[in-house]
Chains A and B, each alone.
Chain A
Amino acid sequence: MRIEQQPAYVLHARAYRETSLLLECLTREHGRLGVVARGVRGERSRLRRAQLEPFQPLVLDLLLRGELATLTAVEVVDTPARLSGDAGLAGLYLNELVVRLTGRQDPHPLLFDAYARTLARLAAGESLAWSLRRFERDLLEAIGYGLQLQHDADTGEAIEPAACYRYVAEQGAMRCAAGSPRALRGSDLLALEQDEMPDSVGLKELRDMMREVIRFHLGGGELRAWRVLAMAVSRRP
């Protein structure tokens, strides 16, 4: 199948054969695709290796046969999102998250839009933690595991800002006693629902909650980028 003029980002590239690259790309209409870019590492390549770096908005022409697609043309549509410093590490986290939580050739246009939006936020220097939480929420929504942030999963009542909840993956938020492990405030759940940045305590609670939910959807695994991010943050003076 020929795919033309497909908006895409490269998530990951690794060497393949002598001079080729095997790319993991996130495309708008065809989801994540494995793409072979032939000969791009060679000296006389028409395509530049630099064009196939992550975080760069691209338009690709592809030939999809079976599991893998072959790259036939690439066009850079905009300058790449400049993710410097910790934003760069956060960007690697986004990419790992997308690769680990989506299947190849599963189209999620909303995910693509959320990804592009998140890169822009990271490049603009917005809060890393909050940008990542918003992306995780949108990613889960796009792939069909949306969070339930409005109602108590036990009683069906509206979430109360002042009450404490524990969020259980695939079930939702349930009332719990304040101070129990992994408890978060109702106001934090509502902040995530209404897209309003909570305070730093709320951000930390939401991070722990998201990790648990993501861990569940990974089947119990860990993301490598968590360790990278954790060490980067702990090194900060």
Chain B
Amino acid sequence: MSSGSPLLADLIEALRCLPGVGGKSAQRMAFHLLERERERGLKLAAVMEQAMRRIGHCERCRNFSEEPLCSLCASSSRDRQVLCVVESPTDLAAIEQATGYRGQYFVLMGRLSPLDGLGPEELGLAQLAQRLGEGEIEELIIATNPTVEGEATAHYLAQLARAGGVRPTRLAHGVPLGGELEYVDRSTLAHAFGGRQLLD
């Protein structure tokens, strides 16, 4: 693009690294920051710089953290006998907000997916196996997504748990609340039907 300003072109190009941002959006963002939001643009740049340099992974749960131990792992009020495994930090946030779970987490940062180049090593499973072997954990809650890859990962994790003498449990799947059976897809309904529970 010939805007007459190489720096502006660089900014637009740099903004395109964000998900869902193409050339047009990047241009709009750049002009918006330059015309109206200089202050906040500077703040954004400063925070971005800090975050990119300082945020790493927690040593225990692999979640993003700027300390060696994240606040959840460092907290003394969390139950250390249950460990919940999730695929991503957004899944962790969803469980935190919805469930009142008081145990600890382990974040895989992905799922077993050979075609995406994600195997046991990339997911830190050796680290998880070591934690399970420490003897403190009694239950491993496997909260990977109910996709084919998430299920394969769950199976693998369950084997790890059993090898470490830990009880593996899996989130239930079924019909969503407020849903109508007529509109639920076949496989979800088949799952819900197969996993029906005794009413008492």
Contacts and interface: CB of A to CB of B under 8 A. Distances in A.
B199 interface: no
Contact of B148 (A48, A51, A54, A85): A54
A146 interface: no
Interface residues of A, number: 38
A58 B35 CA distance: 51
Given A84-B155, A237-B163, A50 B185 contact: yes
Contacts of B190: 79
A92 B118 CA distance: 12
Contacts of B19: 18
Interface in B113-138: 113-121
A231 B155 CA distance: 12
Interface string B14-26: 0000011000000
B147 interface: yes
Interface in B14-48: 19-20
A54 B113 CA distance: 12
B151 A84 contact: yes
A47 to B, nearest CB: 10
Contacts, number: 82
B115 A79 contact: no
Given A89-B155, A92-B149, A224 B163 contact: no
A31 interface: no
Contacts of A228: 112, 114, 119-120, 152, 156
A124 interface: no
B186 A76 contact: yes
Contacts of B188: 50
Contacts of B77: none
B115 A50 contact: no
Q: Which of A86, A88, A236 has the most CB of B within 10 A?
A: A88
A128 interface: no
Q: Which of B113, B115, B162 has the most CB of A within 10 A?
A: B115
B159 interface: yes
A2 interface: no
Q: Which of B117, B118, B185, B187 has the most CB of A within 10 A?
A: B187
Contacts of A231: 120, 156
Q: Which of B114, B152, B160 has the most CB of A within 10 A?
A: B114
Contacts of B185: 48, 50-51, 76
10 contacts: A18-B20, A48-B185, A50-B185, A76-B185, A92-B148, A224-B117, A224-B119, A228-B156, A232-B155, A235-B156
Interface of B: 19-20, 112-121, 147-149, 151-152, 155-156, 159-160, 162-163, 185-188, 190
